[in-house]
Amino acid sequence: MTAFVPASALDRETVLVIGLGLMGASVAAGLKAVGFGGRVLASDRREADIQTGLSMGIIDGSGPLDELIPQATLVVIAVPVLAIESVLEAMAPLWRDDLVVTDVGSTKQAVRQSVARVFGYIPPNMILGHPIAGSERSGVTAAQAGLFERHKVIVTPEADSCRSALARVHALWQRLGADVLEMGVERHDDVLARTSHLPHLLAFSLVDTLARQDERLDIFRYAAGGFRDFTRIAGSDPVMWRDVFRANKTAVLGALDEFEQGVSRLRQAIEADDDDAMLGAFSRASHARHYFETLLNQASYQSMEQRNITYRASAGGHVQGRIRVPGDKSMSHRSIMLGALADGVTEVDGFLEGEDSLATLQAFREMGVVIEGPHDGRVVIHGVGMHGLQAPAGALYVGNSGTAMRLFAGLLAGQAFDTELTGDASLTRRPMGRVVDPLRLMGAHIEASEGDRPPLRIKGGQVLQRLDYDLPMASAQVKSCILLAGMYAEGETRVREPAPTRDHTERMLNGFGYPVERSGNEARLAGGGRMTGGPIDVPADISSAAFFLVAASITPGADLVLEHVGVNPTRTGVIAILQAMGADLRLENEREVGGEPVADIHVRYAPLKGVDIDPNQVPLAIDEFPVLFIAAANAEGKTRLRGAEELRVKESDRIQAMADGMAVLGIEHTVLEDGIDIVGGQYGGGTVDSLGDHRIAMAFSVAALCASEAITIQDCANVATSFPDFLSLSASIGMRVQAEEA
Ligand code: S3P
């Protein structure tokens, strides 16, 4: 752990900046701009730059190093990388143990070697660093006080670095608004070779190549958009960059080799008119670029996973209007999976752009499938056929999604190549034995972690055999997993379920021309078939609509229409249960779209009463129980749920997570192993923990409509997995939930 230094302690430092170029001057200017209380001194070979710094008011004094160093407590060396050694030689006779010294060099191994040459070791008070910020402009006059704000600064401490020196360097950069992270020098140089040094090299090279051509004036006259965007950094300081490439030679050459291979692949694709190869590379790159943008804006799931988002739901609010919630999650996953394995093109509309289904989409891109989009819910998949997937370069990360991991396990078990499936912390706790066991019976070779948990390592090239299987639990994920593996198995695979579960896999397979027969509780398919891609219209997700069905049912005066909701009979348990409780729900405009029933659901407030939930409805409402518990808390009398032990192995143990939250709010309940009893009545507010489970977070947001006090809900970032615009849609109908980031 880095020692903690209070922000005010920085004001006791005297900061000496050696080298008043863009970086050094921006440190000085930034300190002045944030009201730093200590002194800022500077030294530079060029007296004129010092005079400019003084007249700009960004430094308080200067002089020869042997006068400045005794006054300084924190030194920032901001000279080009290859000049650092001579600065250190000049500093060595004046070195003190209580001095903290850092640098801003763009390569770190070379700087560490310079330090070791001068001192014979790395002094514990020398903390190497590198702010990932800059500009193509150079010199003191280019100084920007806000240059480091919201930028990353990488520090590369040694095992024996002084903890308090490290903390003081952290404090300096944090005061300038930067986000400080630590890594080893080797990793730093490797990462930077790819993300900074290589792009600079390419920009320098492109501009130089064009500038040498005779007609250059003419070329540059027409070179606006692309050229300008690509080459902005070619205006950077030549000496600094010469030093960077000298200092980081090996890593840069490695990155350049990879780049040359990529360019030559594209060259071949252009020569051979290979549209798929071009589209593949461009769509992967375009997607990666957008993803990078969301990372930078801190809007991506992977950055959110580490973010601490709290919802504050004020008590009360309205539920009024007409809305369409995002696309069905189950169908979105399956549309990508089946579209990728089909022959021809599959065009999907209404695709859920939530983190779970986006992870599935990304996994197929990594297996060589060209996928355009998503743009406003539209995705175009260029299917590769049943045997056209390619081995991914690394593990496939499916985020928070149990559906993705279990369905993938089935279809990857039949591939010719090895794969590894990984997920986030919540998914890594979830049971995978339920899919691994039947797949092993089919001849699949799968290794899981202890207790049959993820990651799953699936060996390719296995011959799968047909399976005749009675599911031990009602699970559409397990059923779908076996059917997907069955497509790659010899003979007819049969799965029987103890109770009906969602049948989107069976419907979509049939829609793609892969026959799945159903009779009673059994689904059957023969291996070795093919699919043909086609259009898919994904309706709004009834599981997301459920939050608003309950919101309207419990809020006096509510009147809401939810448009274009999927009402497949294997998903409508929530409607049946709410209607049994007395809710005023009506299906309007019922129709069938692409083999799935769809309707607008009109819901108005009506007083609810407690019921004994029909156990047959449990699998048909499996994801809706968190919010149904809130309906029960607002109903008159007791609601009893039994036969719902599956709730304990969802994204959280949903029985316990809801019970803990309801206890905070004062909702009377009794927890059972396979269910819960809830007594409706008045309840208050307080702070509840969603345990990172999207549906728990949204259920308590709905609860606030009828609470007497506000409800604070912790750990809500995962709402983005299934319902990215939950807060804006809720606000649009009159709910009062706001997100705050800790
Ligand atoms: C799903 C099936 C259900 C459900 C999940 C999605 C699917 O899980 O909870 O959100 O798309 O097949 P189980 O099959 O584990 O019940």
The 10s digit of each residue's pLDDT in 588-608 is 999 999 889 999 999 999 999
| Of the candidates 673, 649, 671, 650, the residue with the CA atom closest to the CA atom of residue 660 | 671
The answer to whether residue 419 scores a pLDDT higher than 50 is yes
CB-CB contact of 598 with 591 (8 Å): yes
Residue 500 Cα to ligand 1 midpoint, Å, equals 12
Return the pLDDT at 223.
73
- Is 249 annotated for ligand binding? no
Residue 279 and residue 269: Cα distance in Å, rounded?
Answer: 10
SS3 176: coil
| Of the candidates 409, 412, 408, 374, the residue with the CA atom closest to the CA atom of residue 536 | 374
For the CA of 478, the nearest atom of ligand 1:
14
Residue 303 and residue 399: Cα distance in Å, rounded?
Answer: 12
Residue 508 and residue 475: Cα distance in Å, rounded?
Answer: 17
pLDDT in tens, 159-206: 999 999 999 999 999 999 999 999 999 999 999 999 999 999 999 999
The answer to whether residue 395 scores a pLDDT higher than 80 is yes
- Is 329 annotated for ligand binding? yes
**623 in active site:** yes
| Residue partners of 589: CB distance under 8 A and separation at least 6 | 599, 600
67-81, 122-136, 288-302, 379-393: the lowest-pLDDT one: 288-302
Q: Tell me the CATH number for domain 309-320+539-741.
A: 3.65.10.10
- Mean residue pLDDT across the chain: 94
The answer to whether residue 301 scores a pLDDT higher than 50 is no
Q: What is the DSSP letter of 197?
A: I
Residue 736 and residue 314: Cα distance in Å, rounded?
Answer: 6
Buried b (16+ CB within 10 A) or exposed e, 577-613: bbbbbebbbeeeeeeeebebbbbbbbbbbbebebbeb
Q: What is the mean pLDDT of residues 133-153?
A: 90
Asked whether this chain's domains 7-183 and 191-273 adopt the same fold, the reply is no
Q: Ligand 1 atom 4: the closest Cα is on which residue?
A: 623
Return the pLDDT at 54.
97
Residue 693: exposure state from Cβ atoms within 10 A (0-12, 13-18, ≥19) = buried
Choose the CATH number for 191-273 among 1.10.3660.10, 3.30.460.10, 1.25.40.10, 2.40.40.20.
1.10.3660.10
For residue 231 and ligand 1, the question of a CB distance below 6 A is answered with no
Return the pLDDT at 9.
83
Q: Ligand 1 atom 10: the closest Cα is on which residue?
A: 623
For residue 62 and ligand 1, the question of a CB distance below 6 A is answered with no
What is the share, in percent, of the chain residues with pLDDT greater than 90?
Answer: 85
Residue 434 Cα to ligand 1 midpoint, Å, equals 13
For residue 502 and ligand 1, the question of a CB distance below 6 A is answered with yes
Return the pLDDT at 463.
96
pLDDT in tens, 644-689: 999 999 999 999 999 999 999 999 999 999 999 999 999 999 999 9
432 is written with which tokens? 């995978």
Tokens 């891609």 sit at which residue? 533
The answer to whether residue 718 scores a pLDDT higher than 80 is yes
For the CA of 505, the nearest atom of ligand 1:
12
Q: Tell me the CATH number for domain 7-183.
A: 3.40.50.720
Return the pLDDT at 19.
96
Phi, psi dihedral angles at 17 (to 5 degrees): -100, 120
Homologous superfamily of 352-533: Enolpyruvate transferase domain (3.65.10.10)
Return the pLDDT at 5.
66
The answer to whether residue 294 scores a pLDDT higher than 70 is no
The residue extents of the domains of the chain are 7-183, 191-273, 309-320+539-741, 352-533
- Mutate which of 338, 398, 403 for ligand 1? The one with the most ligand atoms within 8 Å of its CB, which is 403
The answer to whether residue 285 scores a pLDDT higher than 90 is no
Confidence of residue 240 (pLDDT cuts 50, 70, 90): confident
Whole-model pTM: value is 0.75
- Is 736 annotated for ligand binding? no
The answer to whether residue 297 scores a pLDDT higher than 60 is no
Q: Indicate which residue of 623, 689, 693, 715 is catalytic.
A: 623
Buried b (16+ CB within 10 A) or exposed e, 84-123: bbebbebbeeeeeeebbbbbbbbbbbbbbebbeebeeebb
- With residue 441 as reference, give the H or E element that holds it: helix 433-441
Q: Ligand 1 atom 16: the closest Cα is on which residue?
A: 475
- Is 609 annotated for ligand binding? no
What is the share, in percent, of the chain residues with pLDDT greater than 70?
Answer: 96
Measured distance between the N- and C-terminal CA atoms of the chain, rounded to whole angstroms: 20
For the CA of 649, the nearest atom of ligand 1:
15
Residue 183 and residue 189: Cα distance in Å, rounded?
Answer: 10
- Is 475 annotated for ligand binding? yes
* Helix residue ranges per DSSP H, 307-373: 329-341, 355-366
Confidence of residue 299 (pLDDT cuts 50, 70, 90): very low
146-150, 219-223, 293-297, 370-374: the lowest-pLDDT one: 293-297
